[in-house]
Amino acid sequence: MSITLLAPLCALLYLAATGLQLLHLSQRHRQIDRSVLVLGLSALVLHAGIVWKIAFPGTGVDLGFFKIAALLFLVINLACVTSLTRRPLQNLLIALFPLSALAVLVSTFAPDTAPILSHLSSGMILHISSSILAYAVLTLAAIQAGVLALQDHQLKHRHTRGIIQILPPLQLMESMLFELLWIGVALLTIAIVSGAVFVDDIFAQSLVHKTVLTIVAWLLFSTLLWGHYRLGWRSKTAVRFTLAGFAMLMLAFFGSKLVLELILQRG
């Protein structure tokens, strides 16, 4: 089947899974429904096939602005769905699936923005893969932080109806957030170290903003983990540091690519 047909079908499956999950939330079901899982996994299979065709065309790797977004959401969704076997992260799918549908459609039909990279060294493959995995896990952490902030606000204002009734206990939500942060920071550390070792002149003019913002994000996340371990930081502090670090990370990654590829058209 043509990729121009697969992409809309994939998007429809993602949106259908989102609608079903919203329906189950309205009925106050805490467990993920099998139909949501089937639709989501079907969309993931199509998503993987689309990413394989557009990001790995056979002569190298295409990591253009739109292609990398589709790849990133594929990894995020895989991480989230895999984590469902041990943690109740299904509510995050309500945000992830619609964004994934958009990323698949745009990456399929938007023009190319960067040249294909060929002859990548093993060191560069390590840097790129660890970066994508770090962004994926820390995106989950940022969404988790947003849900945690909503839950904390509802509890403090004694709102016991609505979404608060179907979320896990606040302590578990915080525990899940810090688990994601520990994994994400470990991966981000690998990405930064491998970049320093294998990327030529990591502070070159075209890379300096990305490098500095990534290091700032790492410092924010690491400070939060230290504060949680040593000073017992929780709740609002955890949310603020997580969202601030995520903002720096997204500016580093997508902000740099947006300016270079879409505005300056340097690829």
Same domain, 97 and 182: no
pLDDT tens, position by position, 120-156: 778 888 888 899 899 999 999 999 999 888 888 777 7
Q: What is the DSSP string of 163-221?
A: GGGTSPPHHHHHHHHHHHHHHHHHHHHHHHHHHHHHSTTTTSTTTHHHHHHHHHHHHHH
pLDDT at 24: 81
pLDDT at 184: 95
| Dihedral over Cα of 259, 265, 266, 267: its sign | positive
Same domain, 115 and 163: no
Query: What span, in angstroms and rounded, lies between the C-alpha atoms of 242 and 227?
Result: 12
**Segments of the chain scoring below 70 in pLDDT:** 1, 28-30, 113-115, 158-166, 201-207, 256-267
Same domain, 80 and 141: no
Same domain, 181 and 82: no
Query: What span, in angstroms and rounded, lies between the C-alpha atoms of 75 and 136?
Result: 6
Same domain, 132 and 232: yes
Question: Considering 89, 119, 149, which residue would you say is the last residue of a domain?
Answer: 119
Domain holding 33, by residue range, is: 1-119
Same domain, 19 and 110: yes
Number of independent structural domains in the chain: 2
pLDDT at 30: 64
For tokens 């606040």, the residue is: 170
263: number of CA atoms within 13 Å, CB side?
7
Same domain, 147 and 25: no
Same domain, 109 and 195: no
pLDDT at 261: 58
